[in-house]
Amino acid sequence: MVAALLGGLVAHRFGQPPLIGYILGGVLVGPHTGGPTVVEIHDIELLAEIGVALLLFALGLELRFADLKPVRRLALIGGPLQILLSALLGYAFAYAVLGWERVPAAWMGAMVALSSTMVVLKILMGQGRTGSLAGRAMIGLLVVQDLAVVPMLIGLPLLGDLGRALPGLGGALLQAAAFLTAMILVGTRVMPYLLKQIVRWGSRELFIVSVVALGVGIGYGTYLFGLSFAFGSFVAGMVLSQSEFSHQALGEIVPLRDVFGLLFFASAGMLFDPFYLLEHAAAVAGTVAFVVITKAIVCGGLTRAFGYGGETPWQVGLGLAQVGEFSFLVAQVGVSTGALSSDEYGLVLTTTLATMVLSPTLFQVAAPLHRAWRRLRPEGIGLETWEMPVEGLEGHVVVVGYGRTGRAAVEVMRKVGVPFVVVELDHGLAEAARQLGGAVVWGDASHLEVLGAAGVDRARLMLVTVSDVATIRLAIEKGRRMNPEMRVLSRALYPAHLTELMSLGVYEAVQPEFEAGLEMVRQVLVQFGHSTQDIVRLSDAVRDDLYGPMWEGGLSERYQGILEELGHARSQVGIGWVTVSAKAVPVEATLVDLGLRERTGAIVVAIVHGRSVDVNPGAASPIHPGDRAALLGTVEQRRAGRAFLEGSPEEEGSAAAHPRA
């Protein structure tokens, strides 16, 4: 844990994902390097397996069966094809290039076919992209790969003896089918019922323990059925995701998931032998390059062949371009059965770790590579339009991006009748926009053809909500080139980004995190009784300092003074509510009859009578016993007014202090 923490801190310092640091931390305390050494590696591997199970259980809680429907064809048909193609190419590479025998080459092909569920999910969750179309496609393919581990472990040791292998494979498939049927039929009823009973007891501790027990226990049940321990936990999470307790269960499991997941990456690093890498550098480099290129082409190509366009094939291809953790298990079985030599095992192990470390970088380069490819192949631009008006559009809003920000903007425009066109590269999000109604263009907003299809040349406004710097810049540049009169409202990703947006001619920019913080502070000031005018003054002053842009990282003197003024005013003047008692007002009276201001100095600014509210009441406004009255004044004036309206003895002193005029 300490080594992984130190590695994570170093990785973060250099702008890398923490998982790379966790692996390097494991390398430092492994048996192949100097310094402190973890001797009982197998014990750590068992804890790491729990981490894999908890990660997949948490993923299952986030997903629903309906979430995988858009990628079911790719998963059910493309998944087996991907495994078969990758395995054949891996076999050919090991046999023809590395010079391995046929049996070890077959084991190599099987291991190359598997990607890392742990690494991919960790990156997707870290980026918040598990629900994207590319994320769902990767998850669908990974589920099929995890299922394929069982027949691999049964069939590979029996290579050359299909008569023994086929019955074992058939039995494994029947067991898997029986388990999945039982989980869907029984799990959807039993697990929610158990959690409901525990919730009724009101014990948070028992709820946490029950959630972990379900995830890990059902995983162990699948292990007894001959399936993957981690896969069972994933299915348990997906079944539980249908219940009302899924969000609470996910919130409780996340800290445990992250801690045990850390142990997985650290334990993987412990297996790395730097001396083997030095002795076989050429073979390792060649194998790593082969795996990355081959799997990127196979996974990305199949994704494209099944009809997914834009950036999705690039994300899926490069996202799955690594060797997975189940390859460790397959390789260990290969060594124990004598099918793999120690050198062959070392090459597989080193390649697996190297591709895992490269995975975060490959994820990051998917978008730039896609844009570069589109520049080379402009004729291949993916473009599709839905619900476009027959007569065309004029004076509309082009919304670039249908994420959370874009969706919120579109909902408001739809309600007030503002014409708009959504431009979205993610096919899943574009489909969601189409189903809710409105004109949609599926394509990359950084291309003139896509912007032309959205009618940018006739648009009144462009609203850019995406979170990619390059896409924002290109969409604005090309959009204004097509329509110089069009105003652009863009999302700013960080304060310094405002300068670049201004240079591009952006009419107005919004920095979401800043606006969220300002709105939260506004709510705080409202709760502390500050006036609307003062809050608006402060908000405008803060916005001026940011959107100038003149951000210096702190409160400027301009609105520091406003804060001080507001704080002083808050201590002197405020509003308090009081219930009018029958002692003070036995029957209906008017404010002038009451003489509250002359007696106490407090002013009634609102009266609530039942469901009616009288704001800023006049002298002739009625007030009744049981009404709620809002009093404006200093602390002393409000205290005196409260005592008067409640009919307390303090009223006499207050009245004497404020004689009637």
Q: Is 333 in the same domain as 430?
A: no
Q: What is the pLDDT of residues 19-53, one digit of tens each?
A: 888 888 988 888 888 778 887 777 777 777 777 77
Same domain, 244 and 361: yes
Does residue 175 form part of some domain?
Answer: no
Q: Write the CATH number for 336.
A: 1.20.1530.20
Q: Give residue 80's pLDDT.
A: 92
Please report which helix (H) or strand (E) contains residue 593, including its range. helix 591-594
The pLDDT tens digits of the residues spanning 54-66 come to 777 877 776 666 6
Q: How far apart are CA 369 and CA 314, in angstroms?
A: 8
| Shared-domain flag, residues 299 and 392 | no
**Count of structural domains, the chain:** 4
Q: Which of 78-92, 170-184, 423-437 has the lowest mean pLDDT?
A: 170-184
The average pLDDT across 139-148 equals 85
Q: Are residues 604 and 639 in the same domain?
A: yes
Question: Could you tell me if residue 19 is inside a domain?
Answer: no
| Residue 10 belongs to a domain | no
CATH number at residue 477: 3.40.50.720
Looking at the fold, whether 417 and 470 belong to one and the same domain comes out as: yes
Whether residues 551 and 624 fall in one domain: no
Question: In Å, what is the CA distance from 521 to each residue of 503, 524, 563?
Answer: 30, 5, 12
Q: What is the pLDDT of residues 490-543, one digit of tens each?
A: 988 877 787 788 888 887 888 777 777 888 888 888 777 776 667 777 777 776
598-620 confidence digits (pLDDT tens): 889 999 999 998 878 888 898 88
- Report if residue 34 sits inside a domain: no
Q: Please tell me the chain's helix, strand, coil percentages from 3-state DSSP, rounded to the nearest 5.
A: 65, 10, 25
Domain ends where: 488, 510, 532? 510
Question: Higher confidence at residue 381 or residue 346?
Answer: 346
Residues 495, 412 share a domain: yes
Q: Please report whether residue 549 resides in a domain.
A: yes
Are residues 390 and 305 part of one domain?
no
Q: Is there a single domain that holds both residue 424 and residue 490?
A: yes
Q: What is the pLDDT of residues 648-660, one digit of tens each?
A: 764 444 443 343 3
Confirm whether 16 is domain-assigned.
Answer: no
Same domain, 530 and 499: no
Q: Find the domain containing 617 and state its range.
A: 573-657
Tens of pLDDT, residues 186-215: 767 777 788 888 878 878 788 888 888 888
3-state secondary structure of 628: strand
Higher pLDDT, 65 or 79: 79
Residue 25 in domain: no
**Whole-number pLDDT of residue 463:** 94
Asked if residue 531 and residue 504 are part of one domain, the reply reads no
The 10s digit of each residue's pLDDT in 261-289 is 788 888 888 888 888 889 999 999 999 99
Residue 217 has what pLDDT? 84
At residue 391, the pLDDT reads 66
Assess if residue 20 is contained within a domain: no
Question: Is the confidence at residue 550, as pLDDT, over 50?
Answer: no
Contact 95, 103 (CB under 8 A): no
Q: Are both 224 and 368 inside the same structural domain? A: yes
State the pTM of this model. 0.61
Q: Which of 492, 510, 528 is the last residue of a domain?
A: 510
Which stretches does DSSP call E strand in 351-476? 384-386, 397-400, 420-424, 439-442, 461-464
Q: To 5 degrees, how large is the angle CA 390–CA 394–CA 399?
A: 95
Q: What's 628's domain CATH number? A: 3.30.70.1450
Q: Please state whether the peptide bond connecting residue 549 to the residue before it is cis, i.e. omega within 30 degrees of 0.
A: yes
Domain end position, chosen among 375, 400, 415 = 375
Band of the pLDDT at 174, cuts 50, 70, 90?
confident
- The pLDDT assigned to 564 comes to 60
Which range has the top average pLDDT, 79-88, 129-138, 174-183, 209-218? 79-88
Kindly tell me if the per-residue pLDDT of 384 is higher than 80.
Answer: no
